[in-house]
Structure formats: structure tokens, C-alpha cells
Amino acid sequence: MNNQIKIRNIIKKYEKNKTIKVLNDISFNFESGKIYSIVGPSGSGKSTLLNLLSLIDTPSSGTIEINNSRINFENKIINDNIRAKKIGIIHQDKNLLSDFSAVENVYLPNLLLSNDHFSSMNLAKKIIKNIGLASRLNHFPSELSGGENQRIAIARALINNPEIILADEPTGSLDFDNAKQIFKILLNLKNKNRIVIFATHNRYFANMADCKIKMISGKMKITNERIN
Ligand SMILES: Nc1ncnc2c1ncn2[C@@H]1O[C@H](COP(=O)(O)OP(=O)(O)O)[C@@H](O)[C@H]1O
Ligand SMILES: [Mg+2]
């Protein structure tokens, strides 16, 4: 059976002086084996959507199901556990803990699940080698370039072999050549049991996804056309 994220009638609103519906009644199925890109102007709700899918934020109304199991947003401990096991998250920057080395940053999420220092450490080293940064294991984030930081962040997001990978403008702080390296890794993460969703301002990378989503006026617009 394919894994899936089903969102139904999701509304996310903020009440300030007036009510803003950032997400206005969105329903969609994200299917495993596919890569999704999300584009849209600043403030269009890309991060809001990704934060809901990360189970970090709570919708004002509507439901999210992961693999046919409905998320109870009241149950923070269970949701933290789902996130730790199933979801890898990469932000634009500041993904890493500054007081820990690259390999420690990568191994920590696995240590929390395995409780086995040596196996987690070995796994972290292997993943970092796979992304070509074996020579940076003991560097601290401040001793890594922006692109290297993001590659380590991907390794960290991957260590628990997540079914869902969410990246919120992962190359927003990088130049084009470094961004290309990051997207090469991200696009290679596609496999039949996994859903990869990334938000980006870069149309070149957005067009590489299997399914392109534009956020417009609180709605998701699915497009098969090239994004120009
Ligand atoms: N905590 C909050 N309180 C009020 N408004 C918010 C809050 N968080 C986000 N918003 C608003 O939600 C909208 C969408 O933000 P966001 O999802 O970050 O957009 P994007 O990632 O597409 O730039 C913005 O207009 C923003 O001002
Ligand atoms: Mg954002």
C-alpha cells in the first residue's frame, strides 16, 4: 500500500485586527513516490502549509491523515514521535545546533530513537560520507560553508529514513551552484515509499518536481505546466 498524506478542508487563520485566512479550505492528497514543489509569493502560506504537514503547527480546522491515520493535534507527544520517525525537515538556514559538530548534529535524532551511541554514530558517518562531506565530520556549523551546512542538514533530516521529507526554501540563502548541489541530493531522495515536498522561489528547481503547486489567495493550484 502506498503511503499518503491526505489533507481535507484545511483552514489556517490568524485573528489580528481582522481575520486573515492564510490557508482557505485546502484539500489534497500527497502520494508516495512523488516530489512536490510549492511556489508562491512571500506570505502566500508556503511555510504555514509545511509547518502543518510537519505537525509543528495546528490547523484552525480540517484534518490531516498520514498513512490513513488521522492526526490528533491535541496529542503533542504522539505527534513528536511521528515526526521523529517519519518526517525529515529542512529549513532555509539555522538547521544545525551550533555547539555540536556536523557528525553530532546528524547522529542526535537517531540516538533519541536507538539509544545506541555507536550504531547512531556509524550511521551518521555513513550518511555524511554519502553526501560527500566525510572530511567535515568534526567541523562545527560556523566552520562550514552555507552549502555544506545545508548538506549536513539534509543528512540530519535523513538519518531516521523518513517517509516524508519537507524542505522550506532549503536553498534560499545559497548561490545557484550550491543550490544545484542541494537539489541534486533532494531530487535523488525520491523513492516509491517516500513523499518529498519543497517550497522554493526558484522556478528552475520548482519545475523539476513531479507535481507543481502554486499557493494563491489561500488556495493550492496544481499545475502541470512549466512555472514561468
Ligand atoms: N503567528 C502569526 N500571526 C499572524 N499572522 C501570521 C503568523 N504566522 C504567519 N502569519 C501570516 O501568514 C501569512 C503566510 O505566511 P507564511 O506561511 O510564512 O508565507 P510564505 O512561507 O509563503 O512566505 C503571512 O501573511 C504572515 O504574515
Ligand atoms: Mg516561508
Residue pLDDT, tens place only, 45-101: 999 999 999 999 999 999 999 999 999 999 999 999 999 999 999 999 989 999 999
Mutate to test the pocket of ligand 1, among 17, 22, 46, 51 (most ligand atoms within 8 A of CB): 22
Q: How far apart are CA 176 and CA 201, in angstroms?
A: 12
* pLDDT, tens only, 120-175: 999 999 999 999 999 999 999 999 999 999 999 999 999 999 999 999 999 999 99
Cα–ligand 2 centroid distance for 95 (angstroms): 15
CA atoms of 15 and 18, how far apart (whole Å): 6
Q: How confident is the model over 9-51, as pLDDT tens digits? A: 999 999 988 999 999 999 999 999 999 999 999 999 999 999 9
For ligand 1, say whether the CB of 22 is within 6 Å of any of its atoms. yes
Kindly report, residue by residue over 182-200, the tens digit of the pLDDT: 999 999 999 989 999 999 9
Radius of gyration over every alpha carbon of the chain, rounded to an integer in angstroms: 17
Count the residues in the chain. Answer: 228
**How many whole angstroms from 45 Cα to the centroid of ligand 1?**
6
216 lines ligand 1 (CB under 6 A): no
Q: How many CA atoms does the CB half-sphere of 39 hold within 13 Å?
A: 17
Q: Which H or E run contains 164?
A: strand 164-168
First to last CA, the chain: 35
Among 24, 38, 42, 48, residue to substitute to test ligand 1 (most atoms within 8 Å of Cβ): 48
CA of 16 to the centre of ligand 1 (A): 12
Q: Whose CA is nearest to atom 9 of ligand 1?
A: 48
User: In b/e form, how buried is each residue of 196-205, taking b as 16+ CB within 10 angstroms?
Assistant: bbbbbebeeb
- pLDDT the model gives residue 187: 94
Return the ligand number nearest the Cα of 46.
Answer: 1
Q: Is the CB of 200 under 6 A from ligand 1?
A: no
pTM exceeding 0.75 = yes
Residue 100, all three cell numbers: 555540536
Q: Which fold has domain 26-223?
A: Rossmann fold (3.40.50)
Q: Domain-by-domain residue ranges, the chain?
A: 26-223
The mean per-residue pLDDT over the stretch 103-109 comes to: 97
Ligand 1 atom closest to Cα of residue 44: 22
- Rounded mean pLDDT, 201-219: 96
User: 3-state secondary structure string, 24-78?
Assistant: EEEEEEEECCEEEEEECCCCCCHHHHHHHHCCCCCCCEEEEEECCEECCCCCHHH
